[in-house]
Structures are given as structure tokens and as C-alpha cells.
Structure 1
């Protein structure tokens, strides 16, 4: 299965000393990697606001130059609506939910989730923002940040 990287994975990539080893760690089966243009915008905004140094910015730009970046388009709209309504426990296509209270998702996370669902990608993340969508819309693989220590 091909992989979609959440923005927080890009943040870790920008900090690594060895990008190739880091990518091998998160992608041991050499699947095709994707990111959403929403993640690209989000990480570039973080870099600008936090005045990243040249070395860190270069690591990020080199990585982005070699990855598949998918634009947001009309084809996402219906699945975006489905995921947003599901997250709020208001999707009429679902009678039961595996969570008791609504899950408020950021708009960028909704676009990222929509891409994973639309293309059938496994989402790689370090946070809990997509847990309620796991194996409902797409698989989620969460990697704990402490598992990345060897790369810094």
C-alpha cells in the first residue's frame, strides 16, 4: 500500500541528519510516498514563521523535490464532507461510531484525510488526530516521536 505523510512527519524529516535512513525507517517496503499540497503549505509556513536556517530549509526542499505532491481538487469534496460529518457524529451513512464525542479536525487535516481516503493510502503520522478514521476511511499508522531519536 502506498503512503501519505502527515505534516508532522515532514517536520521530523526537516530535522534529521540522514533523510534516506529516516525515509527507509518509515517506509521499509519502499512504497510510493505522497503528501498533500495542504501539508506542503503548512510545513513551508512553519519554516517561514520560525525562520528556519538554510540547512534545515534545504533538507525540506530536497525532500519535497523528490516526493509526489497532490493538489487539492474537486474530486476531494464529497469525501471531505463524509469525513467531516463522520468526525462530528453527524454522517447519515453511519449508525454507530467508535467514539462517544465529536472529533474536531483542522481543515488541513480534513484535506489530508480526504486524500488518503480518495487514493486508498495509508496515512503515516505521529499524532492522534486521525485515530477515529482508522480502518473506517483509510489505515492510519502512528509512529511515536521517540522512535525517531536515532535520526537526530
Structure 2
């Protein structure tokens, strides 16, 4: 039986999207099973990181095209005014509290967290620096 929570979209973090779309092996199988039946969406930041992979890793045309085709079928959550406001608040909070999400290297993940918060989405991630962010809903990691 499908629950209401299972029909709500899940924002897939870049690391999980990479496991599911690019890599092979145990993590791919575990996440695919864990998210089976869920509506998956990605943030703009995840999309651009994944689109850069073929260029930075010298992929062949066929493999690169397969990734692009897959991404075209995956909805992207927009960076709207609410997400921008959440990003600003999250940046300030992270710096003020010393939380990892406030570090300069975490710009993309701040945007992902802000997107999840702005759209009230659960986040599928394995990254620990999302731990402890107020009001951020996370799926249990696999």
C-alpha cells in the first residue's frame, strides 16, 4: 500500500543521484531499492554537477548522451525567491553556529538544503553535513 508520504517528491542530493545515475555497484542497488516508488526530483545544483561529469571525466559521446537523456526525465526544482531566502538564512546560521553547511566549500549543498526547505521536500543524502539543519527533513540513509 502506498502512503501519502511515498507520493510526495523526494529531493535527491548529488551523491545519491550520482550513485543512481552514473555509478554501479552496491550503493546504486541500495538507493534504487530505498527510493523505489518515490517521486524523485533534483535541485539545479545537482543537475549542473552531473552535466559536468562527461566533460571533466572525458566520457564518450554515447555515455554522455545517456546521462543527458536520463536527466531530461528528472524534474528540477527551481531556485525561487523562497529558496533564495532560505539560502541566505542557512548561510548566516551555518556561519554563526559553526555548522559544516556554513563552510565556503558547501555552497552547492547549501543551495540543495535551501531548496528542500523552501519546497518542504525530504532530502535523500548520505552527506553528514546536512545533519542538524533545523527543519530539514531527511530520508534515512542506506
For Structure 1 versus Structure 2, the TM-score category normalised by the shorter chain is 0.7 to 0.9
- Work out which structure has the larger RCO, using CA pairs closer than 8 Å and 6 or more positions apart in sequence: 1
1:137 aligns with 2:135: yes
State the TM-score, normalizing by the size of structure 1.
0.71
Alignment gaps of 5+ in structure 1: 91-100, 145-152
Alignment gaps of 5+ in structure 2: none
Higher normalized helix content (fraction of residues):
2
Q: Please give the alpha-carbon distance, in whole angstroms, between the structure 2 residues aligned to 1:58 and 1:128.
A: 32
Change (3 A) 1:56 1:10: farther
| Per-residue deviation, residues 21-63 of structure 1 (Å, max 9, x unmatched) | 66641313x2221101111111112331111234543442232
What is the aligned-residue RMSD (CA, Å)?
2.6
Q: Is the 8 A contact 1:3 1:32 kept in 2?
A: yes
1:54-93 map, 5 Å? 54-89=61-96
- List 4+ stretches of structure 1 deviating above 6 A: 20-23
Q: Please give the alpha-carbon distance, in whole angstroms, between the structure 2 residues aligned to 1:83 and 1:55.
A: 39
State the TM-score, normalizing by the size of structure 2.
0.75
Could you say which residue in structure 1 is the equivalent of 2:108? 108
Residues paired across the two proteins, number: 129
Alignment equivalent of 2:44, drawn from 9, 30, 37? 37
